[in-house]
Structure 1
Amino acid sequence: MTKTTRRVWMIIGIVVICLLITNNFTSNPYAKHRAALKVKTFLNENYKKYSFDVADGHFNRQQKLYQFTVTNKNDAAQSYKFKIENGDDYSIVENTINIKKD
């Protein structure tokens, strides 16, 4: 192996290790997007009369959950929390909406 080839492989290895560490702490953007879609789908299926805005998604590393803040578009004072399990099915663990389902 030449010196430049070794350097290239070392740089690639360092970048991969940094990406794996970052993914462990913050998760990846695609998984966060899928979790947000799960929340939006749940809201559209169960609360058809209401209009919600899904925001502030972040990853809780210890619990391996995504936490989203959902606000009612018609009344911004109404704010709810959703927790979504990170994984294949992205199941909803916690839903704080206390209005009657349609």
Structure 2
Amino acid sequence: MDAAQDLARRWPSVDQIQFAVEEVPPSDPAPWERSVVLGRGFTAEPRAGLPARVVIYRRPVASRATNEAELADLVRRVVVEQVALMLGRRPEEIDPGSAP
């Protein structure tokens, strides 16, 4: 994922996060998730041997983009948002060029 590689150059701790793409979000959304989820971050679970992970959901993201440029931009925004949440930062701090 290009977006993750770009962020890792600026934020070395991003290298510790695993990135994945799944087709659709699980059918059991969190109570605060009222709309279709585009991506989700999972904190590390060291006892279980699981690294921190960001998952992008392919179908919901692709259905919102009308061309490749929009798709790339949306993926980047979702990655930035999830990484920011994991690092306790604002998205603008993680990627100053990202649009809100």
Q: Which has the higher helix share?
A: 2
Please identify the structure whose Cα radius of gyration is greater: 1
The answer to which structure has the higher strand fraction is: 1
- Please tell me the TM-score bracket, short chain as reference: 0.3 to 0.5
Q: Provide the TM-score with structure 2 as the length reference.
A: 0.33
The normalised TM-score by structure 1 is: 0.33
